[in-house]
A and B are shown apart, each in its own frame.
Chain A
Amino acid sequence: MVLTPDDWMAVRLTLELASLVTVLLLLVGTPIAWWLATTRSRFRNVVGAIVALPIVLPPTVLGFYLLILMGPNGPVGQITHWLGLGRLPFTFAGLVIASVFYSLPFVVQPIQNAFMSMGARPLEVAATLRASPWDSFVHVALPLARPGFITAAVLGFAHTVGEFGVVLMIGGNIPGKTQVLSVQIYNHVEAIEYAQAHGLAAGLVVFSFLVLLALYSVGGARNTLGAGR
């Protein structure tokens, strides 16, 4: 294997990004999934469609608008500047935020499906056994939706590892800061360094295959994955 120090840096950065994003996605995605699974609000379909947008939008479109929002003249950019956080584009933090948006549907949908297939009955039972709504959520809904969470975490992680368009639009190509695996592969190909491109690309193929294999081996994950879209 002929990986350069920059390659290893990209691998490390990618894993850091994907881990952090996965944790954030579970934190953000769970309440959204819960709301979508249980609400009778007429905004349910609107919110569901917005969450699902990244599935159909070209990453460049998503990245473009995030860039404008977080840029010096965008509302988010002005807020972060005012807060003293500086500008988000071309930083690791900006990459994290963009990735959260980009991978959100892959986390929300499996969790939402798990909550929906569980139905209202277990929570009613818990209520008749003196469990408050929060108590029921933590001790009944979360454990029963576990296969959905496993699917969500794996998909969210894998999807973040594989992103390219959004990274390029938001983060650019800064080694050690925003230069992730997929961008690094692109760099190698541009420079006609096919051997190095192979090293990273083949690694990603194997990684993705193992992830999916693990996913399909976990009982119940198949349903939550298949029913998602």
Chain B
Amino acid sequence: MSGGLDLRCRLPLADFALEADLSLPGRGVTALFGPSGSGKTTLLRCVAGLARAAGRVEINGECWQDDARRIFLPTHQRALGYVFQEASLFAHLSVKANLEFGLKRIAPAERKVGWDAALELLGIGHLLERGTGALSGGERQRVAIARALLTSPRLLLMDEPLAALDARRKQEILPYLERLHDELAIPILYVSHSPDEVARLADHLVLLEQGRVLASGPIAELQARLDLPLALDEDAAVVVEAQVLEHDEAYALTRLGLARGSIQVTRKPLAVGARARIKIQARDVSIALSADNPSSIVNRLPARIRGFGEAVHPAQCLVSLDAGGTLLLARITRLSRDQLDLREGMEVVAQIKSVALLG
């Protein structure tokens, strides 16, 4: 396998064994998602070579570990960037020297991420001469990310980079992470237990529980699956990649194109043609049998019922819908399901009450 990330890791831990066997896309953001103590960080450390599992690690054709061939590159010989949960800046160095630390250690020919580009991407140009003690938590983490990027890694590993920050600092950093996602061609493995971060950043999702991989796939696909714990969350939602089609100035609305069809959201300051990532919560989707009956709900998409699942509350059930290639999740009462006599394969209308634009 030459493209993509090929990870096979077996490592006995205190309470359980990490057993991951993953083939992941070689680009975009893959989120390792799961409750604390599910082995996410350990898996990341195995990829980095900071922990030694039995198995194989291959990154876009480059072999970092293969027990069968007795290959194990030590961490410093792997072209990776690692962002730790706490910023871990070197206290004895200035911000500038911290940034230069990794840059100095790679051959000039290998330097693909430019100094100015990294500073600009993370917005830290004005911090260079400071000591690391004079930075806020958010600034420290931005410097740590830039420091990792400046080694021009072939893979960026991020271990809950926002976990140590308060809500405001998180909001301050998230846009920078989204820019990483949009502007870099470097694949990112992103460990998180925050559904919100995952919804905003991830393209691909790996669900971990007790060291085992529950599921791995494109985020929209996994979110719409009824057999995974994601759907049971109170805030269960799907993310949808959309494109800005037009603005309706009279009603202050923006039309977003989906795989097929479109929806309208309140006017957003986005250019026509720009890509937008939106989140649709299961609780905001209702089902009607036809589009004939008048309603105040603007967004109504023809959809086919893919299946039903149990919700946490006995009064409710989950419905997985396919709206012309866009997968949706609806949480409705079991009463309405039976009154409307909804069944798998039926053509219905998904009514979307509210849409959140991410980032």
Contacts and interface: CB of A to CB of B under 8 A. Distances in A.
Contacts of A133: 74, 76
B167 to A, nearest CB: 25
B222 interface: no
A224 to B, nearest CB: 15
A4 interface: no
A146 interface: yes
B66 to A, nearest CB: 20
Interface string B137-159: 00000000001100100000000
Contact of A124 (B50, B81, B148): B50
Interface residues of B, number: 22
B75 interface: yes
Contact of A144 (B48, B82, B92, B105): B92
Contacts, number: 59
Contact of B88 (A125, A131, A136, A143): A125
A132 B105 CA distance: 10
A129 interface: yes
A124 B90 contact: no
B144 to A, nearest CB: 8
A136 to B, nearest CB: 8
Contact of A128 (B75, B91, B92): B75
B90 A122 contact: yes
Nearest to B79: A130
B176 interface: no
A125 B105 contact: no
A40 interface: no
B106 interface: yes
Interface string B66-96: 0000000011110011101000101110000
Nearest to B101: A129
Contacts of A131: 76, 101, 105
B257 interface: no
A198 B253 CA distance: 94
Given A121-B84, A122-B88, A125-B84, A130 B106 contact: yes
A124 B44 CA distance: 13
B90 A132 contact: no
B90 A128 contact: no
A140 to B, nearest CB: 6
B273 to A, nearest CB: 38
A136 B148 CA distance: 16
A132 B102 CA distance: 11
Contacts of B105: 129-131, 135
Interface in A126-152: 126-133, 135-136, 139-140, 143-144, 146
Interface string A98-139: 000000000000000000000001101111111111011001
Given A130-B102, A130-B151, A125 B90 contact: yes
Nearest to B50: A124
Contacts of B81: 128
A60 to B, nearest CB: 43
B117 to A, nearest CB: 18
Contact of A140 (B74, B80, B84, B90): B90
Most buried by B among A121, A124, A136: A124
Nearest to A121: B88
A139 B98 CA distance: 11
A121 B144 CA distance: 14
A135 B151 CA distance: 16
Nearest to A145: B92
Nearest to A146: B92
B92 A143 contact: yes
Contacts of B147: 129
The list of the 6 closest CB pairs from A to B, nearest first, reads A129-B102, A128-B82, A127-B75, A130-B105, A143-B92, A127-B76
Given A126-B76, A128-B102, A129-B105, 9 more contacts: A122-B88, A124-B84, A127-B49, A127-B74, A128-B50, A130-B102, A130-B106, A131-B105, A140-B90
10 contacts: A121-B88, A125-B82, A125-B84, A125-B90, A126-B90, A127-B75, A128-B102, A128-B148, A143-B92, A144-B90
Interface of A: 121-122, 124-133, 135-136, 139-140, 143-144, 146
